Amino acid sequence: NAGVMQNPRHLVRRRGQEARLRCSPMKGHSHVYWYRQLPEEGLKFMVYLQKENIIDESGMPKERFSAEFPKEGPSILRIQQVVRGDSAAYFCASSPQGSLNTEAFFGQGTRLTVV
Amino acid sequence: KNQVEQSPQSLIILEGKNCTLQCNYTVSPFSNLRWYKQDTGRGPVSLTIMTFSENTKSNGRYTATLDADTKQSSLHITASQLSDSASYICVVNPSSNTGKLIFGQGTTLQVKP
């Protein structure tokens, strides 16, 4: 049973380009969470999704950022028109239930660098 | 002000020694508190999860304590090993129905031979 898989591990984008980050949850997990870790800071919640539903996106910037978790395939975090301040590590976690009283397993993260 | 504060920010100890990391939180309501270990360049890995009714939980050489009245938690590492060098993060789940884990900034532990 593979863990949470994120790809790519490293992504370099020029300012103004689009970044797409992928997350495949653990087998049997239908709840996905995205977190962002800015340099020298703790992880910050961005969005919580179930299959085909956004449950809570209160941590997501209002512009340029979007997330989806389709019926088939990985969850995608999409950042349009990237700026230098988007440079960060983006972590995805998954859990079998939405309550988070159960364990949440994190992926290895995608390190986005905007040049 | 951060809702989860950790101390010290960084710590250096010799291999084989014990250490204790501290976490104070102001998050309310509170569902559970977790300690994660994050190696450089890797994702966080859970060490312990405690609900408000639990005072202590162990995972091998790691022992976490929780005082829900004073809103304090600690992580004690016994007989440290070089592989314990990592960031240790205190995380609070404010509610059982949300994905909003609240992370502290972590304590960076370096174990030297």
Residue with tokens 């905007």: A114
Top residue of A4, A90, A101 to mutate, by most chain B CBs within 10 Å, is A101
pLDDT confidence bin for A104, thresholds 50/70/90 = confident
Q: Identify which of A48, A103, A108 has the shortest CB distance to residue B99.
A: A48
Q: A27-31, A44-48, A100-104, B72-76: which range is least confident on average?
A: A100-104
Give the number of A-B residue pairs with CB atoms closer than 8 Å.
Answer: 70
Query: How many angstroms separate the CA atoms of A16 and A6, rounded?
Result: 23
> pLDDT of B75-92, one tens digit each?
999 999 999 999 999 999
Hey, are the CB atoms on A91 and B32 less than 8 Å from each other? no
pLDDT value, residue A1: 53
pLDDT value, residue B84: 97
pLDDT confidence bin for B52, thresholds 50/70/90 = confident
Using a pLDDT cut of 70, give the percent of chain A over it: 93
Segment A70-82 mean pLDDT: 96
Taking CA atoms, what residue in A is nearest to B5? A42
Handedness of CA A98, A101, A103, A107 (dihedral sign): positive
Is the Cβ–Cβ distance between B25 and B79 less than 8 Å? no
Query: How many angstroms separate the CA atoms of B16 and A108, rounded?
Result: 29
* Average pLDDT score, chain A: 91
For chain B, the residue count is 113
pLDDT value, residue B37: 96
- Give the count of beta carbons closer than 10 Å to the beta carbon of residue A51: 13
**Cβ-Cβ contacts under 8 Å for A72 (sequence gap 6 or more):** none
Taking CA atoms, what residue in A is nearest to B88? A42
Segment B45-67 mean pLDDT: 93
Query: How many angstroms separate the CA atoms of B65 and B24, rounded?
Result: 12
Pairing of strands A65-68, A31-37: unpaired
